[in-house]
Structure formats: C-alpha cells, structure tokens
C-alpha cells in the first residue's frame, strides 16, 4: 500500500449565547423544553416581516475574532443562502458570504480562514413515519468558523475543537456543549500520495457531535480514501455522515457547489461599517478580553511551575481551577506546597468528582480552600501519610469537615512520639532475630522489612521516617 498523507479542514458551528435570536426579539433559550414556544412571525418567516441585526451576536463574533488575532471586517453584510428544507421557514438562511465579520487569525496553531455569523435552522426529529419540527432553534445566532486545510490528523482536529470550546466558554459567548448540539463539527478530509504536491479530492463529514466521534470519523475516512485510491478507485466530492452503530461514514449526498445556493446580499438588512461603530473598535474589544486559555496555561506554568497536564486541566475545568487558585493564594511563595496541592487536585479530587458523576457542586460545598490548604500542610509536615491524606480527602469530599479533626477521629496522625514507638520497635527486633542479624551483616533490605513491620504494628499510623531513624539508632 502506498503511503497517503491526510489533509483536514474544519468547519465548526457554534450557537451564541444571547438574550434574543439573531434577527428578532424571540428568546434564545437552548434549555426551553416545550417545543415552538420561542417563536414570532419574523423567525417563522412570515411574509412582510423585517429582520433586525442582533448587536450582541455581532459583538460576540468580533470578540472571538479579536481573541484569535483575526482581522475584523471594515465592511460587512449579510447574504441570503437559498435552499428548501422544512427546517428553514424563509426558504433561505441569512448568512455571510463575501464579507465575513472576521478573516484570518489562528487558534491552537491552526490558521483560521474566516469566522462569520448566520442563523440556526429549526430542529427536526425523525420518527418511523412522521417527523416533528421545533422552531425554537430557528433564528438562533450561529457562528461559523472555517479553518485552512492545515490540520494533519484526527487528534489535532479534536484538539482544535476542544480549544475552541474552551475559548467560547472563556469569552462567555457560547456554552458549546457538543452533546446538546450547541457546537457542531464538520470535517473536510482528503488524502494525497506521499510526494504529490496537490491536495486530493475532499469529502465533508457532517454532524460530528462529540470529540470522540470527530476523531473516529476522520480516522475512518483516511483509511477508506487511502484504500479506495490504492485499489485504483477515485474519491468523489460528497457529503457523508457518521453511523455510530456501524462505526463508519456513509454517503449522504453529492455536494452542491456554492452556485446552487444563489447567494445574494439580503436587501432587508443594512450593511455594517464595523470600523465606524465605536463599541466594536479593535481597541475596545481588546480591552474587554478576559485572560485567554493559552495565557492562563502559560501563567500557571511560569508562576507555579506546575505540570503541563495540570495547567491544562485547570484551564478546562473552572471548578478545579477555582480551588487551586484559592489554595495557591494561601501558599504565596510556597511553590512546593502549591505543586503538591496541584497534584492532589488533578488526581485525587478530579477522581472523586468523576466518581461522583462529574458534579462539582459537592466539591465547593464540602471542601473549602482553607481546609484543603490545612491538609496539604499536614502532608508536607509528614503529620499524615499520603494514604491517610487520601482517606481524609474522601471524607472531606463526602461529608465536609476539618482535616485535623478527621485525622484525629480516624487515628491517622503519624506517630512520631519516639518513646511510644521505641517499645514497639524493641519488640519487633526481638521477634525478627534473623533479619536483624542479616541487616547488621550489611543486608540493607532488612531495614525496609523492619520498617514495614513497624507500620503494621501501628496500623499505618507511624511516621516511617521516624521509624527508620529509631531502627538505625538501635541497630548501630
């Protein structure tokens, strides 16, 4: 089989968080459960109605553009994209064609082609012999971001989508939950023979609704196309979907060219001269940007010297980050303690939250930064073992409480009282004559065994460092 090099370009749609829809004052509420509640003559496409541009939605897209260092349009307009489908009440979708709000920029090392603004379609659900349609979603502001064909593999594609999700949440412009359809990924995939200098024909896979599916569909397509070409076949430009049951992509339709949509500027909407709108000046938008995900990652690493994966977890999980930030504040300058805290939060606490069904409420109700900091100090001062710390943490997570009191109650303080330990040790020495002799004759491993016996005799409550010192002194 020849070697094939994949090329991927992504088109990602994300619903924007706004009070009202893109061109009318119907509510934009993705959590509305009752169908066809948030609708009006405008988003239902009744004749004679007129759309009005949603300022908040425009600002959201420009904010994203600013964050990715894209070029904000000076002049922009909306176009009608004409096609018929029951989920599109006007018979066209208002979108942007020639003059997107944002051009260029980059995110997670991937060059962005454009970011534009359009409206979402209604939501259809198909049943055995009928279909239902909910227009609550029709006209919800939808951002579309298109990347250049520069993504190299499935993993990079899902990595990119994850970074975009975090960015949208950070900027508070969208929730971007893939399982709720708030963010939807389309992947354009082609392969070319190694050594070729021209892209192969691309296939577009639509409606990828989780990061995992993004990866699986891309991997599947790369294999399918490579095999097809290897057998002398030809890839045809088409739109495919992902079949979760069969774990494969399937052909949906031969792709229509843009000419089929008969794009033209929407005559009902004013053109926008972005640079003339004070609120949308690049300067203004820059000033309101919060700390961006990649900036936060960098700050965590340089300020606290914590691991890359830990920093990344804090960027992705605001609840864990909140605890970490508060604890770091208590340990200003104490980078060793902060690193220990980071380890415990990203492994033990993240584990507890995951076991508890991923809900972080309990974490903040039950574990205060002060108490968590106290626990970290206890670990550092060797007052408790790491095993003990895990038990205390679990108890704190389940029922709250102060670590010192829990350690007391559960008898988890390591015994460092030399007098008390000495008696136990003398007994162990008596009972293990053979090991003791071997150790005295130079077999170092014997000491570990004796310490182990000491831990056992104290049910793990002895401080192993102290035990070690006592054994060494007695057996000198």
**Between residues 11 and 153, which has the closer beta carbon with respect to ligand ADP?**
11
Question: What is the closest distance, in whole angstroms, from the C-beta atom of residue 368 to ligand ADP in the complex?
Answer: 47
**Nearest residue (CB) to ligand ADP, 71 versus 339:** 71
* Site residues (CB under 6 A) for ligand ADP, limited to 412-471: none
170, 314 contact by CB (below 8 A): no
Site for ligand ADP in 221-260 (CB under 6 A): 258
3 state DSSP class of 9: strand
Residue choice 35, 40, 133, 146 for contact with ligand ADP (CB under 6 A): 146
Residues 9-68 that bind ligand ADP (CB under 6 A): 9-11
Backbone dihedral angles phi then psi of residue 53, each to the nearest 5 degrees:
-70, 135
202 binds ligand ADP (CB under 6 A): yes
From 7, 156, 414, 461, residue interacting with ligand ADP (rule: CB under 6 A): 7
Q: Which residue has the tokens 């064909």?
A: 149
SS3 31: coil
Q: Which is nearer to ligand ADP, 193 or 410 (CB)?
A: 193
Helix 318-330 vs helix 308-316: crossing angle, to nearest 10: 120
Least gap, CB of 36 to ligand ADP (angstroms): 32
CB of 159 to ligand ADP, least distance (A): 16
CB of 296 to ligand ADP, least distance (A): 27
Catalogue the long-range contacts made by 55-59 (C-beta closer than 8 Å, 24 or more residues apart): 55/279, 56/16, 56/18, 56/19, 57/16, 57/18, 57/22, 57/117, 57/141, 58/101, 58/117, 58/272, 58/280, 59/279, 59/280, 59/285
CB of 237 to ligand ADP, least distance (A): 7
Find out whether 11 and 142 touch, Cβ atoms under 8 Å.
no
If residue 110 lies in a helix (H) or strand (E), which one and from where to where? strand 110-119
How far is it, in rounded angstroms, from Cα 383 to Cα 202? 62
Report the nearest approach of ligand ADP to the CB of residue 211 (Å). Answer: 18
Q: DSSP for 290-324?
A: ---HHHHHHHHHHHH---HHHHHHHHH-HHHHHHH
Q: Could you say which residues in the range 309-348 bind ligand ADP, by CB under 6 A?
A: none
Interface residue with ligand ADP among 75, 83, 85, 199 (CB under 6 A) is 199
CB of 341 to ligand ADP, least distance (A): 42
Residue 287, judged by CB atoms within 10 A of its CB (0-12, 13-18, 19+), counts as exposed
Q: Does 147 bind ligand ADP (CB under 6 A)?
A: yes
Q: Which of 30, 45, 104, 149 binds ligand ADP (CB under 6 A)?
A: 149
Q: Binding segment for ligand ADP among 3-11, 241-249, 352-360, 365-373 (CB under 6 A)?
A: 3-11
Query: In sequence order, what are the residues at sequence separation of 6 or more whose Cβ sits closer than 8 angstroms to the Cβ of residue 110?
Result: 10, 147, 148, 150, 151, 156, 160
Q: How far is the CB of 10 from ligand ADP (least distance, A)?
A: 6
Segment 179 to 198, residues that bind ligand ADP, using CB under 6 A:
188-190
CB of 261 to ligand ADP, least distance (A): 11
Q: Quick one: which segment of 72-80, 142-150, 208-216, 465-473 binds ligand ADP (CB under 6 A)?
A: 142-150
Whether the CA torsion 101, 114, 282, 140 is positive or negative: it is: positive
Which residues on adjacent β-strands are paired with residue 145?
12, 115
- Taking CA 113 as the corner, what is the angle to CA 214 and CA 84, rounded to the nearest 5 degrees? 70
State the minimum distance, in angstroms, from the CB of residue 189 to ligand ADP. 6
DSSP structure class, residue 27: B
Nearer to ligand ADP among residue 255 and residue 410 (C-beta): 255
Asked if residues 315 and 346 have their Cβ atoms less than 8 Å apart, the reply is: no
Pick between residue 183 and residue 189 the one whose CB is nearest to ligand ADP: 189
Q: Which stretch binds ligand ADP (CB under 6 A): 5-13, 133-141, 221-229, 371-379?
A: 5-13
Selected range binding ligand ADP among 44-52, 140-148, 300-308, 321-329, rule: CB under 6 A: 140-148
Helix, strand, coil in percent for the chain, rounding step 5: 45, 20, 35
Does residue 411 come out as left (phi exceeding 0), alpha (psi in the -120 to 50 range) or beta?
left
CB of 97 to ligand ADP, least distance (A): 11
Asked if 153 interacts with ligand ADP (CB under 6 A), we say no
The residue sitting closest to ligand ADP, measured at its beta carbon, is: 9
Size of the site for ligand ADP (CB under 6 A): 15
Task: Tell me the HSE value of 139 on the side-chain side, using a 13 A CA sphere.
Answer: 31
| 199 secondary structure, DSSP code | -
Residue numbers 258-287 binding ligand ADP by CB under 6 A: 258
Assigned token pair, 223? 């294999």
Smallest distance from the beta carbon of 87 to ligand ADP, in angstroms? 20
Q: By CB under 6 A, name the binding residues for ligand ADP.
A: 7-11, 146-149, 188-190, 199, 202, 258
């Amino acid at each position: 089989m020849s070697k094939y090099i994949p090329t991927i370009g992504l088109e990602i749609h994300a619903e924007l968080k706004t009070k009202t829809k893109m061109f009318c004052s119907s509510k934009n509420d993705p959590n509305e459960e009752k169908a066809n509640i948030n609708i009006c003559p405008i988003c239902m496409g009744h004749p004679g109605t007129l759309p009005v541009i949603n300022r908040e939605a425009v600002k959201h897209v420009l904010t994203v553009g600013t964050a990715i260092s894209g070029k904000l349009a000076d002049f922009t307009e909306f176009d009608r994209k004409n096609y018929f489908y029951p989920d599109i009440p006007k018979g066209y979708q208002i979108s942007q064609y020639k003059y997107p709000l944002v051009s260029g920029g980059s995110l997670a090392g991937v060059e962005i082609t454009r970011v534009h603004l359009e409206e979402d379609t209604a939501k259809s659900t198909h049943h055995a012999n009928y279909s239902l349609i909910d227009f609550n979603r029709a006209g919800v502001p939808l951002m579309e971001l298109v990347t250049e064909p520069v993504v190299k593999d499935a993993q990079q594609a899902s990595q990119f989508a994850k970074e975009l999700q975090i960015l949208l949440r950070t900027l508070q412009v969208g929730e971007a939950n893939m399982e709720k359809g708030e963010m939807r990924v389309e992947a354009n995939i082609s392969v070319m023979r190694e050594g070729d200098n021209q892209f192969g024909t691309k296939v577009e896979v639509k409606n990828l609704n989780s990061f995992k599916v993004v990866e699986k569909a891309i991997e599947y397509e790369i294999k399918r196309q490579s095999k097809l070409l290897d057998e002398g076949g030809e890839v045809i430009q088409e739109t495919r979907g992902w079949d979760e049951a069969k774990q494969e992509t399937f052909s949906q339709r031969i792709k229509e060219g843009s000419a089929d949509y008969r794009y033209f500027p929407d005559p009902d909407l004013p053109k926008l001269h972005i640079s003339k709108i004070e609120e949308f000046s690049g300067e203004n938008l820059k000033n309101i940007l919060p700390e961006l995900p990649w900036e936060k990652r960098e700050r965590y690493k340089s300020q606290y010297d914590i691991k890359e994966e830990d920093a990344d977890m804090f960027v992705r999980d605001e609840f864990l980050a909140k605890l970490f930030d508060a604890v770091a504040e208590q340990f200003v300058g104490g980078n060793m303690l902060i690193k220990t805290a980071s380890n415990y939060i990203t492994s033990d606490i993240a584990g507890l939250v995951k076991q508890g069904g991923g809900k972080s409420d309990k974490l903040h109700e039950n574990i205060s930064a002060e108490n968590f900091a106290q626990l970290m100090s206890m670990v550092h001062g060797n007052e408790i073992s790491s095993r003990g710390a895990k038990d205390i943490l679990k108890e704190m997570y389940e029922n709250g409480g102060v670590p010192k009191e829990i350690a007391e109650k559960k008898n988890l303080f390591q015994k460092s009282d030399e007098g008390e330990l000495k008696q136990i040790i003398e007994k162990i020495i008596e009972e293990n004559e053979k090991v003791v002799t071997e150790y005295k004759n130079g077999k170092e491993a014997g000491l570990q065994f004796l310490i182990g016996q000491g831990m056992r005799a104290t049910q793990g409550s002895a401080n192993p460092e102290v035990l070690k010192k006592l054994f060494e002194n007695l057996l000198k």
